[in-house]
Structure 1
Amino acid sequence: MKILDISNVSVSPRIQGLIDELFKGKPQIEWERAALVTESYRSTENLPTVLRKAKALEHVLHNLPIVIRENELIVGNLTKAPFSTQAFPEYSYKWLLDEFETLGLRKGDVFEISEESKSKLREAFTYWDGKTVNELATQYMYPETRTAIERNMFTVGNYYFNGVGHIGVDYAKVLKVGFNGIIKEATDEMENADRNCPDFIKKRNFLEAVIITAKAAIRFAQRFAELAESLAAQTSGIRSQELLRIAQNCKRVPAEPAKDFYEAIQSFWFVQAIIQIESNGHSISPLRFDQYMYPYYIEDIKSNKLTKESAQELLDCLWVKFNDINKVRDEGSTKGFGGYPMFQNLIVGGQDKTGLDATNELSIACLEATEHTKLPQPSISIRVWNKSPDEFLMKAAEVSRVGLGMPAYYNDEVIIPALVSRGLTFEDARDYGIIGCVEPQKGGKTEGWHDAAFFNLARVMELMLNNGCDNGLQLGPKSGDVTSFTTFDQLMDAYKEQMEYFVSLLANADNAVDLAHSERAPLPFLSSMVEDCIGRGKSVQEGGAIYNFTGPQGVGVANVADSMEVLKELVYDKKLYTIQQIKAAMACNFEGMGTVTASPMGSITRTDIENIVSKLTEGGKKITQEQASMLTALVEGLSKVGNAAGENVECTRLMNDINAVPKFGNDINSVDLMAKEVALVYCKEVEKHKNPRNGSFQPGLYPVSANVPMGSQTGATPDGRKSGEPLADGVSPISGRDINGPTAAANSVAMLDHASASNGTLFNQKFHPSALSGQAGLEKLSALVRGFFDQKGMHVQYNVVGRETLLEAQKNPDAYKNLVVRVAGYSAHFVALDKTLQDDIIARTEQVF
């Protein structure tokens, strides 16, 4: 296969102007969608939920303000202001109401909101009290589940407060038949359905909802055609002709099949935009864009309808549009999703359904668009297998060297078998794309519920070390007093017992949120493009998709692995320390002399304290200030007083011994196998559970950027990590501990059972730019990828930026507004990140070859 050479195509003045316009001001929170949805819901009280959702989207698409920005060739906006957001009160709203006055004061992900928007949103919010998805989900959770969330064992906040998203629809279907074709399909299904079937009424309601939303999408496009014609009449020359072509496109698509590359791109964008308008779920991912768009691209190139340069400019325009989509999250969530990420993952390359290499000219053009625009969206990725062309991998390495943290690299040889093991057909598995950060999915057939939760593996270890007790509260099962354990196997068994319990609560939380979405937030527009929702007469939220999963991810693999290796070697193998001494050092955060004195009250608990208070306050008595102070001291002491009475340890000596224990990330078999085991403990527990959509749970091992806030919620760990410090990033080694070079780190990560973590694993590496200089640097990076993948690694991505650049950007953010870095499974503008995330990126090991 010969790949067209477009490496010399540079970004046009049009594209640069669009980029400049996109980021010239702070993002806004606009009010129109929330008001329109609320207005519609007030008028449809007696209708079934799915029809209420359809009519609400219809009302929004008919009335949302539309704009065509100067020099745009691809149209379709969600907001009047660029890079701004609407509100979605049907999911949750109270957090937004509480943060109106602080949105502009955040340390990261700052938004502005006008007084008009505040007033309009307050008015809309009054309708939604008691009606949101969030409130229903809370009612479905067990009390102990809510307590575990409050105690930071895991969080399901992603879908608890927002739409689900994390899906790739059948874009090819819309390009091929248009929404008129989808309307016909739904109409035929309704006419041919068995009216005597007990489910016919629900099926009819869903199909009617599909038809309503499809017609609304067509009308939305027609509004842009009318606006373009109006603007064309007010201008002249080239721009007038451009506007008339935009009007022509919008009159045809997405109603009808696309007849050329330009129409295909415009049709694609309407789908992408309207999915975001219907629900604020992020990670709406284009998936294998280079496959379903290629026929239109190559036909226009061969027929001379488009030149390579004009086709590239259309792609570049689309890349800018991806960055026009934004989302506001609560301030706490921004610490786990920092940098305004939308996770629109677009993947190129790999093999086709028959097992032949699928890399084509458009694969390269997509990489070029990322290199030209230098924007964080789309989150571009590539599929690699043993027959991927060398020139394709070299082009990817060239884009990596630009320093955007993209593309991410994915291994067909691991992902395809992993998906088959979860029930996908071989053909569907070969046709996978990546959702959001790192999650494999067969587009157009799957409701994957990826990124369903962040699960703190290090907190499970904390509970194991304290017999299930968390600062005086018996939060987990009593898995055994670790000070009485005589073997490491007993310790691992206790870890497994805690894991089993908390994963079961995680499953309850996810299923509670899942049920709430199915009851209050079915999405007929989205579902119309996912097989077999129309045939089954169900939305994806109700189980209409062919494949149904729930994918929570574990965070802190390396921390638990290094910690368990320390305990195994220092306590059980070499017997240099007792576990009491390790806990004593942890209690004083590895500083000074770790001492735990004997307590005359022994194993006092918070319940005991509460009983004392009850006795003191019998008959309405008030406790004295002195008594209150004593009780406070007792409570605070619970976190430091365990069963390690009388143990002392000098922390400097202990830290030296801890540092001498092998660490994950250095190609050392013992600790790498430990990492494999502790990760599998989590994975095997997760996959035992089922979801309400007749599907199964599948585990992932990636954090987005939640490793930073989760670390702030976790005490000191036996590996020498201090309280509050970030947890390890994905399946990457802990920052600064992978000291044997990039190949050794890759070898360690490859030791994990990536296929078991079929919801995705995330491996970050950082290189100094000098390491990738010249042709030799590109060849080394390409060889590193192939070597890692030959050992069954699943995914890897690279930050190519010097530490000195990042530090300077912290000091002078205005001079580095365009600096894009890889945060986790996504890239973002560095200066938009909270400082804690910036510090985490700076701290990552800077590799050289």
Structure 2
Amino acid sequence: MLSPRLKRIKRRMFEEEFVDPGTWYFKDVNIVTDENRNEPLVVRKGMASRYIGENLPAYIKPDELIVGNPNMNSVGFGSVLPIYATEEEEKKAEEYKLNEKSIWGHHPPMWDKVIKIGFKGIMDEINTKLAEEFKKESADEEAVNEYRAMLIAIEGALSFAKRHAQEALKMSLTESDPARRKELFSIYEAASKVPYLPAESFQEALQSYWFTYCMVNSGGEFVPLGRTDQIVYPYYEADIKAGVITEEEATDLIGSFLAKCNERICTDTKKWENHYDFGLFSQGVPPKFGSNMEETGGHEAGGYDIRGLGWQEDEDEDSEANFNFGQSGNDWLMNMIVGGLRPDGEDGTTQVTSEMVRLRFEMDLLMPTLSARVSSKTPEWFWKQLAECLKKNDGEPAIYNDDAIIPGFVEMGISEEDARDYSNDGCWECLIPGKSHFTYAHVMNTRALEWVFTQGKTLLTGDQEGLDLGPVSQYETYEDFYQAYCQQVNLQIDEQVEKRLENLGLSKMIAPDPLISTIFDGCIEKGRDLTDVNTVPYTFHLPLITGLSNVVDSLAAIKKIVFEDQEATLENFKNAIENDWIGYEELQLKAQNRVPKFGNDDDYVDEVLVRVMEDFENHVYTWREKQDKLLLPCGIGTFENYAALGRNLSATPDGRKSAEPLAPNYSPTAGVDVEGTTAVIKSATKPDLLRYFCGCPMDLSLNANDFSGDIGTQRMEGILRSFCDLGGQIGTFTTTSLEELEDARIHPEKHKDLKVRMGGLSAYFIAMAPAQQENVIQRFSR
């Protein structure tokens, strides 16, 4: 049951803010002057951060207890930043497919550092290191400039807070309601103190957290909130025990904090603004790799790039360019993960964990994207709460199984204490907060399979991108064919890792971030930016099997139809793929209906799955031994882009037509998992997932009609426990009905809070493009 305050905040958001987007500040603002033009770029970036903090409007909304509003931006809409680079620097960066927006984000910072020691403590650390530099015979000029930039950027964060303090004090003087006047003065006291000084109360901890997030995000960093319940719980516990606040007051503080995460959402597609450009998320592409960003992986550091899908005004909402816009337009990679083990190995699930989960759903919020860690030590009551939430259609929280994930970190050489403290990034990948720099790359396994048939040519473009291994007719056994497929996959893995090694540190030339660098291990210690090479303890690069289900089902079809039943030849499949199955409909039906499919606990196809995953990880492992700059776990993923990725791929031997969506993440193709949810989980847990600890999420679509009442809660809890007991790592569970989705498409005004899971995020169904809505409906149409 929501308090009156939280009901009013919820009503304000849904009736006013969600249909009236905020203002985009800093467009065409240029902070480069004659006086600072010769300063190092990183120092000018610090000045840009300071400008943001000094000029973002400070205003306080009715009822709120946590204050501060970041600039408008999002994963889908792009971002606007003050210009701090010279024209010469911009031109040089563009040669590498970079610009000032080339900020990767994703990785979780150490938010708790600011809360615990304040920016004053951080400034003391920086000044100590500066003093050490000038005691040397020759100071490290790069380090000195990084420290200068950090201190300048922090000035902006402190100005942002101080101006909110002054606004609260001013408003308290004219407030007629005594209760609200007291609240405004409390806001004034908190904002006068944090984030400069350490937080000493629950309100101060939440306020320091949010002020810091606002500044980091407004600087272009799309980063997660991390283990929020673990970070703020000590302050909650101390205040409750001391009688400083009541549990009801603490709940209003939590609800106000969560509401702040949602105020930039816009569900009115007519009011969306596009500020996307080529540089967003780019980690750089050295010129020697050519200029074809769509295929060479600009933003994904060596992966398949679909970020050209920014909104295009001259195209309709179903066009390829606009296909993904509706789901990522209201996303900030703002993941919050609650529960799970503490670094000491004990369970960390608390009352704050429970309240954050409860309020996130009772307020019908989209943000933060919510995840929950569970383990063998998770209390019974939390399992039940998770089941209650997941049977109500939001697709959240995503479930992370500590017992399956933590051993993977340890196997890679990460300390058990760090491993137990893992968080997720803005989507679902598992990282160590404040100690990780992370990128990923799509390895297009479906395209590798295509290249076996086409002698390395990509059908949609005609380009020679794969290996020419000779005509497909030469393969007399399935083993020969499969080994050719592995060669094409290995080619992609090698290219992606080589590209990442080449572009390590490239974004530093144009998009350093001295502010966020202050809350990552290694940056102050070394006097280097987060964007520099191996500044932080762990630099992860994640090669992702993309389109796994399609590849496995395709290989099974070839194995059975060609080599076992001998009902078709490889040439027949080649011609079918090249002609998008036109004229080969009988063969297509065989591939779709006469061959076992992944997701049904059928050993025939699951043996193919196990082998595909083992061979993939074995080749990635060779790169662990050949270099020491990257930690290379494996993953399986499409994120929310499975539909857009599919639009750039030709037909596949499983019967899929050209441009149709891929199967999402580590999930079966829509409609083929006819044996039920448990069978899907059993299939997916047959491979050894140890080296896939960084992320292989199963996206499971469940019919809401099967989960009503107390029996439905028990059934959902049983599914969650089975998922973990069988060794599943990350699971997302969307529970809705086909009838509800169809009605939402016809009567969107009746379903404003209907959300569905889309890979690494959830999206309001009514804000999606019609083509994407249709794809979601297909997932529930079995």
**TM class by smaller structure:** 0.7 to 0.9
**Separation in 2, partners of 1:508, 1:160:** 24
* 1:61, distance to aligned residue in structure 2 (A): 1.2
Structure 1 residue aligned with 2:97, among 133, 138, 141? 138
**Separation in 2, partners of 1:8, 1:27:** 25
Match of 2:287 in 1: none
Cα distance, 1:234–1:85 mapped onto 2, change above 3 Å: farther
* 1:225, distance to aligned residue in structure 2 (A): 0.7
- Aligned amino acid, residue 247 of structure 2: K
Structure 2 residue aligned with 1:298, among 230, 233, 237? 237
Contact 1:11–1:373 under 8 Å retained in 2: no
Match of 1:576 in 2: 567
Match of 1:268 in 2: 209
* 1:342, distance to aligned residue in structure 2 (A): 1.6
* 1:245, distance to aligned residue in structure 2 (A): 1.5
Structure 2 residue aligned with 1:709, among 634, 640, 644? 644
Match of 1:412 in 2: 402
* 1:236, distance to aligned residue in structure 2 (A): 1.9
Cα distance, 1:241–1:498 mapped onto 2, change above 3 Å: same
- Aligned amino acid, residue 110 of structure 2: D
Match of 1:206 in 2: 146
1:258 aligns with 2:248: no
Q: Which deviates more from structure 2 when the two are superposed, residues 57-66 or residues 826-835? A: 57-66
Cα distance, 1:759–1:361 mapped onto 2, change above 3 Å: same
Cα distance, 1:499–1:656 mapped onto 2, change above 3 Å: closer
SS at match of 1:590: coil
- Aligned amino acid, residue 6 of structure 2: S
* Matched ranges for 1:229-244 at <5 A: 229-237=169-177, 238-244=179-185
Give CA deviations for 1:396-428 in whole Å, capped at 9, x if unaligned: 111112221111101111110111122311110
Match of 1:100 in 2: none
**Separation in 1, partners of 2:564, 2:93:** 49
1:429 aligns with 2:370: no
Contact 1:138–1:512 under 8 Å retained in 2: no
**Separation in 2, partners of 1:473, 1:85:** 31
* 1:80, distance to aligned residue in structure 2 (A): 8.0
Contact 1:524–1:539 under 8 Å retained in 2: yes
* Matched ranges for 1:619-768 at <5 A: 651-652=585-586, 655-656=589-590, 658-689=592-623, 694-768=629-703
Contact 2:599–2:681 under 8 Å retained in 1: yes
1:320 aligns with 2:259: yes
Match of 1:586 in 2: 577
**Separation in 1, partners of 2:464, 2:91:** 32
**Separation in 2, partners of 1:758, 1:236:** 55
Give CA deviations for 1:498-533 in whole Å, capped at 9, x if unaligned: 122223333354455543312221211101111121
1:23 aligns with 2:17: yes
Match of 1:281 in 2: 221
**Separation in 1, partners of 2:61, 2:453:** 58
- Aligned amino acid, residue 332 of structure 1: L
Structure 1 residue aligned with 2:443, among 447, 450, 455? 455
Contact 2:104–2:221 under 8 Å retained in 1: yes
**Separation in 2, partners of 1:41, 1:652:** 69
Structure 2 residue aligned with 1:227, among 142, 145, 167? 167
Give CA deviations for 1:601-634 in whole Å, capped at 9, x if unaligned: xxxxxxxxxxxxxxxxxxxxxxxxxxxxxxxxxx
SS at match of 1:404: coil
Contact 2:50–2:152 under 8 Å retained in 1: yes
Match of 1:520 in 2: 510
Contact 2:493–2:543 under 8 Å retained in 1: no
Structure 1 residue aligned with 2:26, among 4, 10, 33? 33
Match of 1:75 in 2: 67
**Separation in 2, partners of 1:22, 1:677:** 53
Match of 2:118 in 1: 178
* Matched ranges for 1:430-445 at <5 A: 430-445=420-435
SS at match of 2:580: coil
TM-score of the superposition, structure 1-length normalised? Answer: 0.81
Structure 1 residue aligned with 2:128, among 188, 212, 221? 188
SS at match of 1:469: coil
* Matched ranges for 1:466-481 at <5 A: 466-471=454-459, 472-481=462-471
Match of 2:268 in 1: none
**Separation in 1, partners of 2:231, 2:744:** 39
Contact 1:178–1:258 under 8 Å retained in 2: yes
SS at match of 1:705: helix
Give CA deviations for 1:680-709 in whole Å, capped at 9, x if unaligned: 444444455589993333332121221101
Cα distance, 1:132–1:765 mapped onto 2, change above 3 Å: farther
**Separation in 2, partners of 1:504, 1:25:** 47
Cα distance, 1:385–1:446 mapped onto 2, change above 3 Å: same
Contact 2:701–2:734 under 8 Å retained in 1: yes
- Identity level (%): 28
SS at match of 1:540: coil
- Aligned amino acid, residue 761 of structure 1: C
Q: Which deviates more from structure 2 when the two are superposed, residues 439-448 or residues 560-569? A: 439-448
**Separation in 1, partners of 2:593, 2:34:** 63
Match of 2:331 in 1: 341
1:545 aligns with 2:480: no
* 1:544, distance to aligned residue in structure 2 (A): 1.9
Contact 1:40–1:59 under 8 Å retained in 2: no
Contact 1:336–1:707 under 8 Å retained in 2: no
Contact 2:101–2:511 under 8 Å retained in 1: no
* Matched ranges for 1:85-124 at <5 A: 87-88=79-80
Query: What is the number of residues matched between the two proteins?
Result: 726
- Aligned amino acid, residue 276 of structure 1: N
Q: Which deviates more from structure 2 when the two are superposed, residues 777-786 or residues 465-474? A: 465-474
**Separation in 2, partners of 1:739, 1:128:** 58
**Separation in 2, partners of 1:468, 1:821:** 38
Give CA deviations for 1:775-828 in whole Å, capped at 9, x if unaligned: 221122112122122221111111111111111111222332221221112111
- Aligned amino acid, residue 210 of structure 1: M
* 1:462, distance to aligned residue in structure 2 (A): 1.0
Cα distance, 1:654–1:837 mapped onto 2, change above 3 Å: closer
Cα distance, 1:729–1:83 mapped onto 2, change above 3 Å: closer
Unmatched 5+ residue regions in structure 1?
Answer: 1-6, 91-123, 140-158, 595-650
Match of 1:567 in 2: 558
Q: CA RMSD in A?
A: 2.8
Give CA deviations for 1:632-685 in whole Å, capped at 9, x if unaligned: xxxxxxxxxxxxxxxxxxx32551364111000000112112123223444444
Match of 1:47 in 2: 39
**Separation in 2, partners of 1:454, 1:81:** 25
Contact 1:551–1:699 under 8 Å retained in 2: yes
**Separation in 2, partners of 1:837, 1:202:** 48
**Separation in 2, partners of 1:550, 1:266:** 33
* 1:718, distance to aligned residue in structure 2 (A): 0.7
**Separation in 2, partners of 1:804, 1:41:** 59
Contact 1:33–1:86 under 8 Å retained in 2: no
* 1:229, distance to aligned residue in structure 2 (A): 1.5
Contact 1:48–1:205 under 8 Å retained in 2: yes
* 1:730, distance to aligned residue in structure 2 (A): 0.4
Cα distance, 1:392–1:770 mapped onto 2, change above 3 Å: same
**Separation in 2, partners of 1:574, 1:652:** 15
Contact 1:287–1:345 under 8 Å retained in 2: yes
Contact 1:169–1:530 under 8 Å retained in 2: yes
Contact 2:737–2:780 under 8 Å retained in 1: no
**Separation in 1, partners of 2:92, 2:252:** 41
Match of 1:610 in 2: none
* 1:764, distance to aligned residue in structure 2 (A): 0.8
**Separation in 1, partners of 2:75, 2:456:** 46
TM-score of the superposition, structure 2-length normalised? Answer: 0.87
* 1:197, distance to aligned residue in structure 2 (A): 7.3
Which structure: larger Rg? 1
